[in-house]
Structure 1
C-alpha cells in the first residue's frame, strides 16, 4: 500500500496545459467563423484556400505553444511579417483580427492565467503585422 498520494505530472507546455490539438482547432475554427463574416478581413483569404488558411494557423499556433513542429516541417520558418506583407494590414484590419480572436479565445474557457498568456502573444503578434497606415 502506497502512503503518499500520486501526483500527476504538470503539463510542460501551454499546448499540453490547455488541451492540445483539440483546443487549438476550436480556437482557430471559432476565429475563422468571425473572419468569414468580416468585410475587411475575408477578402484577404482566397476562397479556394479557406481550409488551408485554417490548417496553417492551427499548425502555427500549435507549434508556437509547444505542440508538433508540423508547421515548420511543411512550410519552413514562419516568417510572419514576410508572409503577411502582400496584404494591406492597417490598424483597422489589426483591430478586426483581434476582435475575432478575442471572441475565439474567450470561447475556450481557459484559466485566467492561460487566457492572458495566450492573449498577450496574439495581441503582440497582431500589432507586429501592421504594415501600412493607409486606409
Structure 2
C-alpha cells in the first residue's frame, strides 16, 4: 500500500452540467484541460441515451466493451482526474452504474456515453497534482504517487 497527502488547504469544487447530446468523456476531459485541472475527484448523476462500459480483461490487457444502447439513469458516476504520463492533458478514470427501466443495473469502466437529458457532475480539485504512468504488467496508465 502507498499513500500521499494531497491537501492540507481548502479544495475547490465545481458543478459541471452536461447537456443533451454531449459525449461525457470528451466533454469532461476538455473541461478539465481548459480549467487547469491536474488532480480531482468527481461524482455525478443524470442520464445517458447510450453508454459503453468496459470490463478490464487481465488476459488480453484490454477492456471488453459492454454497449448499453438504450436510455439509462446514471445511478452513480465516480472517478478522478490525473495528468497523463506526457503531462499535457488530464486523464479521466471513471466508473459508472446505470439503471435500466426494469430496475436492473449495469456497471463498469466508463468508455463513452451520450448524455440525455442531463448529467450533473461535482468535481473537487486537489491543490497538488497526480500523474499516471504506464504499467507494463497491465498495460494500464496507473497513478504514480512518486
Alignment TM class, shorter chain as reference: under 0.3
TM-score after normalising by structure 1: 0.27
Structure having the higher helix fraction is: 1
TM-score after normalising by structure 2: 0.26
Structure having the higher strand fraction is: 2
Q: Which structure's CA Rg is the greater one?
A: 1
